[in-house]
């Protein structure tokens, strides 16, 4: 099996480098033309139609770009319909995938998750660090494909089980079977050593065993278990909220106060009304807010309530349903203060029970 996987990875690398035409060993649905039409289906933003959202901190992503956005730290907010996936290119050349969007619908003509198109297009054959913020299908659905087709070196997970789902268990089994992959269960307060020039602090996680049925609380328990990361590189900061809701936001405010301030906010829970509370946003004060959300979703995301609060704080709002995959670039500068965040109070922010 390992040999087969190595062949797949090699084929993907050749395909993305252009050395191999479109005769990918997997299905015809993976051909370049298919990926193109699929991304148009997914309201993926073709470069030619890119809206004028470029500024010093952001660059457009051309079609079929095969290389990094450049030195520094780059974040891609990947358009995966209704779900989350963020790819981070670290200054040391390693990469991070936070969530992987949904799996293809059973009746879909596509047999691979939408995130696979993005990863192939960017020539990604290996994930150094993959984070499953919490066990909901719009976050882990693409991970089975990733474990089957790419090399994953580190997997970051919570210990909470979604008792209404089974595929989360398959993903976790795949992580344990992945050759050379180390599984981590980060806790609030941990620092992740992904790159010596970047500070990555875990602000929320559920490292203790827990179990929840979504039908009882509309997913709130699992959402509130989301692994939340604050990433600081030189003078730039990003706060990635997973699907955390108001309860966690209130605890973050109490624990970190102004330390939550961040240039970039990956808005919690796709712009749900129960996230992005006023008190929380007043501490974060994001310059840019990124909402990963699908067109015509069944949840009413993003809600006018959350959008209104983000507007009121003065954040520039970007949405994957309107603009496709978005990028944020933290360029290296000469002065390099290592940012961070200090906790104001003791004790866990959120723990599973
Ligand atoms: Zn979600």
Q: What is the pLDDT of residue 106?
A: 84
276 sits in the region (left: phi over 0; alpha: psi -120 to 50; else beta) called: left
Query: Which residues of the chain fall below pLDDT 50?
Result: 1-2, 11-66, 349, 351-353
Distance from the alpha carbon of residue 96 to the mean position of ligand 1, in angstroms: 18
Q: Which residues 6+ apart lie within 8 Å of 326 measured at CB?
A: 53, 58, 76, 77, 79, 290, 318, 320
State in Å: Cα 86 to ligand 1 middle: 13
For residue 232, the surrounding DSSP H or E stretch is strand 228-233
Give the pLDDT score at 105: 84
Q: What is the pTM of this model?
A: 0.80
- Residues facing residue 290 across a β-bridge: 266, 318
Count CB atoms within 10 A of the CB of residue 99: 32
The ranges assigned to domains in the chain are 2-330
pLDDT score at 92: 94
30-51 as b/e: b if 16+ CB within 10 A:
bbbebbbebbeebbbbeeeeee
Cβ atoms 280, 249 nearer than 8 A: yes
Distance 332 CA to ligand 1 centre (A): 31
CATH fold of 2-330, please? Metallo-beta-lactamase; Chain A (3.60.15)
pLDDT in tens, 187-209: 999 999 999 999 999 999 999 99
Q: How far, in Å, from the CA of 24 to the mean position of ligand 1?
A: 31
Ligand 1 midpoint to CA 43 (Å)? 19
HSE-CB for 329 with a 13 A CA cutoff = 16
Ligand 1 mean position, distance from CA 5 (Å): 29
CA dist 245 and 321 (Å) reads 21
The C-alpha angle 219, 43, 27, rounded to 5 degrees, equals: 90
Task: Give CA–CA dist 186/232, Å, rounded.
Answer: 18
| d(CA 266, ligand 1 centre) in Å | 12
Q: What is the pLDDT of residue 21?
A: 28
Cα-to-centroid distance, 337 and ligand 1 (Å): 33
Closest CA to 301 of 266, 268, 265, 264: 268
How far is Cα 200 from Cα 194, in angstroms, rounded to an integer?
A: 8
For residue 300, the CA-to-ligand 1 centroid distance in Å is 13
**What distance in angstroms lies between residue 124's CA and the mean position of ligand 1's atoms?**
24
Residue 34's pLDDT is 41
């Amino acid at each position: 099996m390992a040999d087969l996987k190595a062949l797949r990875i090699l084929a993907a690398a050749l395909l993305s480098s252009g050395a191999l035409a479109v005769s990918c060993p997997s299905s015809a649905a993976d051909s370049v033309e298919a990926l193109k039409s699929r991304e148009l289906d997914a309201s993926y933003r073709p470069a030619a139609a890119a809206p004028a959202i470029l500024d010093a901190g952001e660059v457009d992503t051309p079609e079929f770009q095969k290389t990094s956005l450049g030195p520094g730290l780059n974040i891609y907010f990947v358009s995966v319909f209704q779900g989350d996936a963020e790819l981070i290119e670290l200054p040391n050349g390693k990469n991070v995938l936070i969530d992987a969007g949904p799996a293809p619908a059973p009746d879909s003509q596509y047999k691979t998750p939408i995130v696979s198109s993005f990863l192939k297009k960017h020539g990604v054959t290996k994930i150094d660090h993959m984070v499953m913020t919490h066990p909901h299908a719009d976050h882990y659905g693409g991970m089975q494909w990733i474990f089957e087709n790419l090399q994953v070196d580190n997997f970051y997970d919570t210990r909470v089980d979604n008792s209404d789902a089974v595929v989360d268990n398959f993903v976790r089994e795949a992580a344990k079977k992945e050759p050379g992959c180390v599984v981590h269960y980060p806790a609030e307060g941990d620092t992740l050593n992904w790159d010596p020039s970047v500070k990555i602090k875990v602000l929320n996680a559920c490292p203790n065993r827990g179990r929840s049925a979504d039908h009882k609380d509309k997913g709130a328990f699992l959402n509130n278990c989301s692994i939340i990361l604050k990433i600081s590189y030189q003078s730039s900061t990003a706060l990635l909220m997973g699907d955390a809701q108001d309860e966690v936001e209130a605890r973050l405010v109490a624990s970190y106060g102004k330390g939550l301030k961040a240039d970039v906010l990956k808005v919690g829970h796709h712009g749900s009304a129960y996230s992005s509370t006023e008190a929380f946003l007043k501490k974060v004060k994001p310059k840019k807010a990124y909402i990963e959300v699908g067109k015509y979703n069944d949840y009413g995301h993003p809600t006018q309530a959350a959008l209104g609060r983000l507007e009121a704080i003065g954040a520039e709002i970007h949405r994957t349903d309107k603009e496709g995959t978005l990028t944020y670039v933290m360029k290296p500068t000469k002065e390099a203060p290592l940012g961070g965040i200090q906790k104001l109070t003791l004790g866990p922010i959120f723990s599973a029970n």
